[in-house]
């Protein structure tokens, strides 16, 4: 299949891009546009991601994107390195975990949030500073932490193999 991409100046919707491409040669070029006040292409947000939506699919494998929620950036870290997405990975009694992106390295991370006081944050952030220095295959990597609006937020390595409970029960 010849590489073909419809020209897009930012005024074309995703549906229009797909229709333009389908009319071109029967295939579909999927391009995910994440909008957080500005237009951002998926490959800019996920520069090294193995599942790029900029993939050419045969017409028999056209994906109905209306059935899937788009991941959108809903918050950024103070240094703008990490972008929190609208995908909740888990909720517990004390924290909520969201999928996020490390924009410098180009990989997915976990954005952990829980309610706390400034004093508790100061105590916990000292522990996080120590954990950021630890590198071991059996210990989750901690990347960053900050306090915002009575919330302690820390970014960790994303673990995709299930929960600890599932692992112990296996």
Q: What is the pLDDT of residues 29-77, one digit of tens each?
A: 333 333 333 333 444 444 444 443 434 344 444 545 555 568 899 999 9
Map residue 113 onto helix, strand or coil: strand
Kindly report the CATH class assigned to 73-169: alpha beta
Q: What is the pTM of this model?
A: 0.57
- Assess whether pLDDT exceeds 50 at residue 17: no
Average pLDDT score over the chain: 71
**H/E element holding 129?**
helix 118-133
Taking the domains of the chain in order of start, what are their residue ranges? Answer: 14-67, 73-169
Question: Which residues does residue 84 pair with via DSSP β-bridges, in sequence order?
Answer: 75, 100
**H/E element holding 43?**
helix 42-45
How many angstroms from the chain centroid is the CA of residue 140? 18
- The residue among 11, 109, 15 whose CA lies nearest residue 70 is 15
- Assess whether pLDDT exceeds 90 at residue 154: yes
Which pair of tokens denotes residue 126?
């000292």
């Amino acid at each position: 299949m010849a590489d073909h991409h419809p020209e897009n100046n930012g005024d074309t919707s995703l549906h229009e891009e797909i229709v333009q491409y389908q009319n071109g040669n029967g295939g579909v070029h999927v391009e995910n546009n994440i909008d957080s006040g500005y237009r951002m292409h998926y490959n800019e947000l996920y520069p090294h991601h193995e599942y790029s939506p900029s993939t050419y699919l045969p017409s028999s494998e056209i994906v109905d994107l209306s059935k899937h929620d788009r991941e959108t950036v809903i918050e950024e870290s103070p240094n703008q390195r990490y972008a929190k997405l609208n995908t909740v990975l888990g909720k517990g009694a004390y924290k909520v975990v969201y999928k996020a992106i490390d924009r410098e390295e180009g990989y997915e991370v976990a954005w952990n949030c829980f309610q706390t006081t400034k004093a508790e944050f100061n105590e916990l952030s000292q522990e996080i500073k120590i954990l950021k220095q630890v590198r071991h295959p059996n210990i989750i990597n901690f990347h960053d932490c900050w306090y915002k609006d009575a919330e302690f937020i820390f970014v960790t390595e994303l673990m995709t193999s299930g929960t600890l409970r599932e692992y112990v029960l296996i």
